[in-house]
Every structure is written in structure tokens, then in C-alpha cells.
Amino acid sequence: MKVFLPDKSELELPEGATGLDAARAIGPKLAEQAVLVRSNGRVQDLRLPLEDGQPIQILTTRDASDPDALAVLRHSSAHLLAEAVRRLYPGVKIAIGPPIDNGFYYDFEFPEPIREEDLPRIEEEIRRELAEGRSWTREEVTADEARRRFEAENEPYKVELVDTAEGPISFYTQGEFTDLCRGPHLQDSRPIKAIKLTGLAGAYWRGDEKNPQLTRIYGTAFYSQADLDAYLERVEEAKRRDHRRLGPQLDLFHFSERSPGSALWHPKGMVLFNTLEQIRRRENAKRGYSEVRTPIIYDAETFITSGHFPKYEDLMFKLEVDEHPWAMKAMNCPGHMLLFGSKLRSYRELPVRYAEPTPLHRNELTGTLHGLLRVRMITQDDAHIFCTEEQIQDEIAGIVAYARYLYELFGMSASAELSTRPDNKLGTDEQWDMTEGALEEALKLNEIPYEVAPGEGAFYGPKIDLHMEDVLGRKWQMGTIQLDSQMPSRFGLTYVGADNREHPLYVVHRALYGSFERFIGILIEHYGGAFPVWLAPVQVRLIPVGEDHREAVHELQEQLEGLRVDVDERDETVGKRIRDAELEKIPYVVVYGDKESDASLAVRKRGGEQITLSLDALRAEISEVATL
């Protein structure tokens, strides 16, 4: 038989050859370093036979940042963790231990609860295993054998897994530890150069709160100590940038127990909010959108017509008005449908682009609320574009270009996910070819990298989810662009064509920031609170050295009119006031004492640079970067 290598060359192998055999045929070094076989995007254990004609890629310890190579390393590390825990805690019961983003975990039922302080001891035991060395062997067994084994070991969770398993059952063994596992696994433990247990949490067996609560031990592992160190540094940096910490510290917003999930915005936070709003208005105006304003509460009938009841009913705040059921809007579409439907529309009016940023309310469960990232009062930069079938392509292209423009303002790169026709789709395949094609074309035109999520679209149309990558390399889901023919027809909306007949309408729902709240939360973390000058709530802080300098400083403030300037004239030392300005990450700080005058100002820039500038030069320098 033969298989194909990534360079398309053929490799002849004896019948039944495994991935490891293929690696050996290429070279002993490769075989030693091999960790995994990848084939058409799927991963395969090195120990399993290859198929005739199969394309293969052999991953090695050098693919140290490949997600699949990391997953097999971490999954193998989870097995070492389970072995260590079993040795240290007789009577413990083991559940499951998969790799996850950035690491792995294993769930256990401990005879006595353990604490964070116990983790170093477990880590020590894993290090001992690594020093001794472990290699993994794989065997296939029958369900009866597997059940007998785990019953004998008194492992009820494993017995349950055997009873609900589909397909062949395999065991992986290292040292004295055997686990029920589909694999894949490393050949041996040598590639695991760095491992760390990172935390403890409670987790219900199979995620169901009716089941017993287990203890989940989290960890991570890498192919080198340097990679682990870099990862831990990123985690620390993310903590320092956490918007839930920086928001109150920078006096931007806070949350109150009196209305969980709805931010109370402080004046400085509103500068961020309003700057985003100015950009939204300016760009919408340039791109032919019309600003509208629609009600916040509607009778229940409206949401039945729109289709949001009963599907999203639980997410909406309901109220009773004049003994009838009403609800607060969780989305703007129904209002925009009513507005558009207020008169008969001609094809000459289309496309119509309605934009509206009024607050929406969503009854998110308190347990899922997360700072500004998941809130109950949410402000979307929402718009609905009503158009004909022929206009879809241009409209989508315009929206994607708009999104790209916005994200680049903030120095973030965009990527996208295109969700295509699901099994329960409405409409013909030809229609879907057209609409999916329009979305895909727009992404290509704007050079936005994208992945296709087959079958993930809504039944009424395909969708683009926009993602941004921040300065720490984290990806955030931002805006969405959703094509829809259903909602207009539910509201009986049509347009009169050139042929004087009524035709069906399309609507595009789109939000590009996503929501102001979420976007600001992400920006706070992206910039670590050190906003660019045009976005900074305070652009210049003036610090008079003594009481005698206050008057001059206030005159200076007037001279800098148009910029966001404040004065710190507290009875604190100059040093303390400078430090506070640094903590607030203010871009320019001017300290004014006896030696200063309009001709010569002592300016400290964020980051530590100290320069002397005339007032005119300072004003010119800041004005250049103060607006966008």
C-alpha cells in the first residue's frame, strides 16, 4: 500500500503499516520525535494502521505550537495527572480527563476534599513520573472486558462510560495506570518538558447538577519550559488588563447589586461610549444609513409575529400593561419592521438602511453575567437593511468593508466565520447558492480570512460572525451579519417593483461593534487602559506645584480648550499626583512650577518620556492625535 506525504510524494509501505511505521520509513529521527498523524484535518494515533491512499502529515515535537500537537501532549499529561492522584489518594474515583484550550483537566471524586495547597504535591508526583519516564501502550477490548476491569477497580464513572460508549473500546496504559480512552496519545512522556497544575474547580458529573459534584483539577503542558513561561506571563498580563478590575480603577463604570448586569457608566466611561457613538454616527451617515428611534416596550403580539416568542421568551423581560402581556425589546428588528411597514414601498426607495443604538434588555442568568462582556442592558450598534434580492451582494460587501474599517481603527485584525445552509433550511438550493456566495464574495473582496461552518446558518439565511484578535492574541466574537427573508414576510412586508407587482424583501441584520458594552470591555483589555489619545477620557492632566501656580494652570486649561484637560490641585505632593496620573494612564501630564511658562512647559508623556515644549507646540502635538 502507499500513502501520500504533504509534498504530494508517495510512500510505499507494507500492508497494515501504522503512522509510526511510516515515520520510521522516512527516518529514525522523525520516528523518535513523532507525536501524531494528521490526515485530512483529522488526528490519528501513531499506533493505528494507515489506509491505502491516505494523505498523511506526521507531527513531531518541533510542531510545538500546533493545536493538535499540543492537544495530544496535554491529553497525555492528563493521564499522568490521574496516575499521580491515584497513587497519592487511595480510594479516589476517576472520571474524565480531556485536553481543552490552553491545557487539560481531569475530574475526580476524592474521599476527602482537597485544596489548592495540595496541588504542588500532586505536581511533584507527576515530575517523579516524568523523571522515571512513561510510555503508552494501546489495546482494544470488548465492552465486557472493560466493564469487568473497572468494576474490579471500583471505578463507577468508568463503568458508566463503558456502558454508554459507542464504537470500539480502547485502553491506554502507562506505568500502573490504565484508562479508558480513544486516544490519540504520545509514544512516551519524553516530549512533556513543562507541566503545571493551574487550579481546582467543582464540576458535576456529565455537567448535570443532579449528578454528584466532582473535583476538577486543571493543568497545562508544553513542549518547552520557555513556552510554559510565556503562557503564564500572558495569563498574568490578561489578569492585569481585566476590564472588571480596570473599569472601576480608571473610574469608567461599576456594577451595582441593585441591577445586576447593567453597568453604571461614570463620566470618564461615557467619553469612551460617546467616542464610539460619534464614529458610529459619522460612518453611518457616510454610508447612507438613516438614524431611527423605536419603542423599548411592545405588546406580546409583536414578538409572536417576529418569531421571538416563544423561542427567546425566556431571554426577555416581561411586564403587564393594562392587563395585557408586554415585553421589553431584546433586539431592534421588530420595531424596524413596523417602521418600514408604515407605508407601501417602491423599488426606487431601496435599499433602506435603518440604524438605532437604543438600549436593549436581555434577562441573562445572573450566573452567566461577566463584566461588560455579558450584560443585561445592552446597546447594539444595530442596523437593518431592507433590500431586493439583486441588492444583497452590494449591501453585504459594503457592510464587510465597513467592519474592516472599524476594526482597523483599533489596531485589531478581523477574521470571520461563515455559517451556511442547515438541514432545516427554507428556500431552494439556488437561493442559498446566491446568498452564501454573496457573503463569501464580500469576505474575499475585503481580504478577511474566514472559516466555513457548514450547516451552522439559521434556517432563514446564512450568517457571518466577525472576530477580532487583540494585542494578546485572544480572539473575540464581535459583530454579526445575518441575511434574512423570513422576518419581512412574517410582518407582511413587500415592495412594489418596476413591474408594478409586489415582491418579497430581504433584510440584513448587522451589528459591527456587536455591543458598545462588550466592545468597550474588549478595548479596555486590548489597550490595558492606556487608550490612544483620541479615545482617552482625560488627554492632559495639569498639576500646579504650589498654590501660587493654580491661576496660571487654569489659564493653561482655557488655552487648551477643545481637548479633554483636567487639573489635579489636591493637597498632595507633586510626586503622588504624578504617580496617580500614571496609574490613570493619562497620555500627557504637565507639571507647572516657578520655572514654567507658556514658552516652556514640563511635559511627561505616558511611558515615561519627559520633554520641554511651548504651549503652542504642545497644543499642536496633541491636536494631531486627539481626533480620528
- Per-position x/- string for 331-360, each x denoting binding to Zn ion as judged by CB under 5 A, each - no binding: --x---------------------------
- 404 an active-site residue? no
Beta bridge pairs of residue 423: none
- Residue type at position 399: I
Applying CB under 5 A, does 577 fall inside the site for Zn ion?
no
Q: How far is CA 469 from the centre of its chain?
A: 9
**Is residue 308 at the binding interface for Zn ion, with CB under 5 A as the rule?**
no
Residue 181 or residue 399: which is nearer to Zn ion going by CB? 181
DSSP structure class, residue 58: E
Selecting among 107, 382, 465, 470, the annotated active-site residue is 382
> Active-site residue 382, yes or no?
yes
Active site residue 333: yes
* Minimum distance, C-beta of residue 482 to Zn ion, in the bound complex (Å): 7
Active site residue 380: yes
**Residue 38 vs 79, nearer CB to Zn ion:** 79
DSSP 8-class letter at 348: G
Answer positive or negative: Cα dihedral of 264, 268, 272, 274. Answer: positive
Provide the minimum distance between the beta carbon of 349 and Zn ion in the complex, in angstroms, as a whole number: 20
Nearer to Zn ion, 104 or 223 (CB): 104
Scan residues 315-334 and list those touching Zn ion (CB under 5 A). 333
Query: Which residue in 93, 463, 518, 604 is the catalytic one?
Result: 463
SS3 content of the chain, % helix, strand, coil (to 5): 35, 30, 35
Instruction: Select from 8, 89, 12, 94 the least CA-distant residue to 50.
Output: 12
Active-site residue identified among 384, 549, 564, 585: 384
Q: Which stretch binds Zn ion (CB under 5 A): 88-96, 278-286, 506-514, 606-614?
A: 506-514
CB atoms within 10 A of CB 79: 26
Rounded CA-CA distance 509/189 in Å is: 51
C-alpha to C-alpha distances, 384 to 450, 480, 495, nearest whole angstrom: 23, 12, 16
Query: Is residue 234 among the annotated active site residues?
Result: no
User: Does residue 181 bind Zn ion (CB under 5 A)?
Assistant: yes
Query: If binding is defined by CB under 5 A, does position 383 make contact with Zn ion?
Result: no
Please report, for residues 97, 419, 435, 620, the alpha-carbon distance to residue 455 in angstroms, rounded to integers and kept in the order given: 29, 7, 14, 54
Least distance to Zn ion, CB of residue 72, Å: 9
Whose CA is closest to 565, among 556, 576, 578? 556
Residue whose CB is less far from Zn ion, 77 or 275? 77
Burial category of 341 from C-beta neighbours within 10 Å (exposed 0-12, middle 13-18, buried 19 and up): middle
Look up cell 456587536; give the residue: 514
User: Using the rule CB under 5 A, is 263 a contact of Zn ion?
Assistant: no
Q: Report the residue number, 72 or 535, with the smaller CB distance to Zn ion.
A: 72
User: Could you say which of 376, 509, 541, 564 contacts Zn ion (CB under 5 A)?
Assistant: 509
Contacts of 310 (CB under 8 A, 6+ apart): none
8 is catalytic: no
When the beta carbons of 94 and 613 are compared against Zn ion, the nearer one is 94
Decide if 384 is catalytic. Answer: yes
Catalytic residues: 333, 362, 380, 382, 384, 463, 509
Contact positions vs Zn ion (CB under 5 A):
181, 333, 509
